[in-house]
Amino acid sequence: MQGKILKGIAGFYYIETSDEKIYECKAKGIFRKDNIKPMVGDDVEIDIIDEEKQIGNIIRILPRRAQLLRPPVANVDQAVILFAIVKPDPNYNLLDRFLIMMRQQNLPVIICFNKQDIASEEEKQKLTESYENCGYKVLFISVKEDKGLDELKALLKGKTTTLAGPSGVGKSSLLNKLVPDADMQIGELSRKIERGKNTTRHSELFFVKELSDEGFDTFIIDTPGFTSLELRNVSVDTLMQYYPEFEDYEPECRFGGCSHIAEPDCGVKNALEKGLISKVRYDNYKLLYEELRNMRPVY
Ligand code: GDP
Ligand code: ZN
């Protein structure tokens, strides 16, 4: 029987099969044989040990299409980063960190701003202008009033999407809309184990039935832990690669290798003054630049 790992806790894996049954499985023997550890998102083959008790054993991990390290999930196609336009105001710094992290892993990102029902036109305009030139798709939605959700759903259809965002932005509300039976899916089975352990929350996959009319093919991942995103493998010299909207103006910089921070005759800063580059993005670049500079080892 083939299935997908929705969740892993304390050596147990929760696997949904295409007939929408969930089995609690162990992975005996897999480690020894293939030397890989099953991860959330993996497509696997299982042996059903007890149909009634919904218990099985993973016997094979199917080849991974992709593997994300942060968060550790297999077979992800894209990320949706959810912020609110207001309440809470977007934390641009966190947003840029997330964009950098996902670009490092070559994962396409859709930026989604929620709560458009309580936001002004100016507030929306500011976000549009800030992020439209940086190469990401930007959507405005209201989970509460069911606005913009069709467009989002169309983008999710047939794909596995990791959903991330800071707290208070409406992530649970959105998840509830997409997966109304989320609690039912694994809840019963895993609650026993979770209660016994002091588990930190892990990524959890949900099958989005509403969007899967072609089969067992649309999943959304609830990604927890979104407070501090530490940048790794980014240096002051490579940071600008993550700001593709700077590129057009870099040839106008007087100095080759200009960092666009303090140099005179800087094309990027000129573009910023003319309003061709978003101040939100530039300010963030500067902030992250300072942070990375201070992280340099001192000899
Ligand atoms: P989470 O912390 O990201 O999971 O956010 P929740 O889903 O718990 O939502 C936080 C608060 O925002 C709740 O009071 C929701 O009712 C509210 N909320 C969620 N979506 C919307 C929206 O589209 N518009 C407005 N006005 N409020 C929303
Ligand atoms: Zn410059």
- One DSSP character per residue, 86-101 reads SSSPP-HHHHHHHHHH
- Chain centre distance of CA 171: 12
DSSP-assigned beta bridge partners for residue 7: 14
pLDDT for 275 equals 93
Q: Extract the runs of DSSP E, i.e. beta strands, from 194-287.
A: 204-207, 219-222
- Atom in ligand 1 nearest the alpha carbon of residue 141: 23
Q: How many other C-beta atoms can be found within 10 angstroms of the C-beta atom of residue 125? A: 11
pLDDT for 181 equals 83
Q: How many other C-beta atoms can be found within 10 angstroms of the C-beta atom of residue 268? A: 26
Q: Is 175 in the pocket of ligand 1 (CB under 6 A)?
A: no
- Give percent of the chain above pLDDT 70: 90
Q: How many other C-beta atoms can be found within 10 angstroms of the C-beta atom of residue 201? A: 11
Q: Indicate which ligand has the atom closest to the C-alpha of 269.
A: 2
Residue 266 has pLDDT above 80, yes or no: yes
| Distance from C-alpha of 224 to C-alpha of 205, rounded to nearest angstrom | 12
pLDDT for 132 equals 82
Cβ(80)–Cβ(174) below 8 Å: no
What tens digit of pLDDT does each residue of 32-62 get? Answer: 666 788 999 999 999 999 999 999 999 999 9
131 alpha carbon to ligand 2 midpoint, in Å?
20
Supply the Cα-derived Rg of the chain in whole angstroms: 22
Query: Positive or negative, the Cα torsion across 98, 102, 104, 105?
Result: positive
DSSP-assigned beta bridge partners for residue 50: 55
Cβ(138)–Cβ(125) below 8 Å: no
| Distance from C-alpha of 51 to C-alpha of 211, rounded to nearest angstrom | 28
172 alpha carbon to ligand 1 midpoint, in Å?
8
Buried-exposed string 136-152: b where 16+ CB fall within 10 A, e elsewhere: beebbbbbeeeebbeeb
The domains of the chain, with CATH numbers, are: 2-64 (2.40.50.140), 68-222 (3.40.50.300), 239-294 (1.10.40.50)
| Distance from C-alpha of 41 to C-alpha of 220, rounded to nearest angstrom | 10
Q: How many other C-beta atoms can be found within 10 angstroms of the C-beta atom of residue 128? A: 14
Q: What number is the average pLDDT over the span 196-209?
A: 77
- Chain centre distance of CA 286: 24
Which single residue is written with the structure tokens 């490092």?
Answer: 104
User: Which residue's CA is the closest to the ligand 1 atom numbered 18?
Assistant: 170
User: What SS3 class is residue 73?
Assistant: strand
- Amino acid, res. 277: I
What are the φ and ψ backbone dihedral angles of 75, each rounded to 5 degrees?
60, 40
pLDDT for 161 equals 97
DSSP-assigned beta bridge partners for residue 99: none
Residue 134 has pLDDT above 90, yes or no: no
Residues 6+ away with beta carbon under 8 Å from 193:
9, 10, 12
| Distance from C-alpha of 46 to C-alpha of 136, rounded to nearest angstrom | 38
Of the residues 123, 141, 144, which should be mutated to test ligand 1's pocket, given the most ligand atoms within 8 Å of the CB?
Answer: 144
What tens digit of pLDDT does each residue of 89-106 get? Answer: 999 999 999 999 999 999
